[in-house]
């Protein structure tokens, strides 16, 4: 009901992204370094990253003046995906996040939202730059015989 019928952004894409996210995070050791809640948040973000994707880009929607284009300014579709994800998760019939404390809920929500917002392709070069800097820093430390710097797990998840 929350996935529109379009050729690419469909349930096959959702499954592919979620499975690939899990495989990469496991292979890179990310899953071992993050908490259970961050694991859940990472996979929830992968599942929901394109929720209700209309099959066109954010710039197209902005130019076409589609119904929800005025609601979001910067990363239009990604904000929509994150918003709808939490509307589904907190729905009384779903109740996925029942029992969380306020702090746990907001930490979980921030992690999921940050991961979904990181899928905005207009920001891809920025994330890639941060990742390359982190890799270079670890490589330089190792080359000098120094301990590798701590891994930024949020960057890793994004």
Contact indicator for 75, 123 with CB cutoff of 8 Å:
yes
Q: What's the start-to-end Cα distance of the chain, in Å?
A: 26
Q: Are 131 and 5 in contact (CB under 8 A)?
A: no
List all residues 6 or more positions away from 22 whose beta carbon is below 8 Å from its beta carbon: 31, 43, 46
9 is catalytic: yes
Residue 130 DSSP symbol: H
Catalytic residue selected from 2, 9, 49, 80: 9
User: Looking only at Cα atoms, what is the longest distance across the chain?
Assistant: 56
**Which residue numbers are catalytic?**
9
């Amino acid at each position: 009901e929350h996935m529109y019928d379009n050729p690419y952004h469909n349930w096959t894409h959702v499954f592919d992204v979620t499975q690939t996210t899990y495989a990469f995070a496991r292979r890179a050791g990310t899953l071992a370094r993050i908490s259970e809640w961050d694991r859940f948040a990472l996979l929830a973000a992968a599942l929901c990253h394109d929720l209700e994707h209309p099959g066109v880009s954010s710039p197209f929607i902005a130019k076409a003046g589609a119904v929800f284009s005025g609601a979001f300014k910067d990363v239009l579709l990604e904000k929509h995906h994150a918003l709808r994800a939490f509307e589904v998760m907190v729905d009384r019939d779903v109740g996925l996040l029942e029992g969380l404390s306020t702090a746990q809920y907001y930490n979980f929500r921030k992690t999921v939202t940050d991961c979904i917002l990181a899928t905005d392709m207009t920001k891809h070069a920025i994330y890639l730059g941060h990742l390359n800097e982190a890799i270079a820093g670890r490589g330089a430390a190792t080359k000098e015989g120094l301990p590798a710097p701590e891994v930024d797990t949020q960057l890793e998840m994004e």
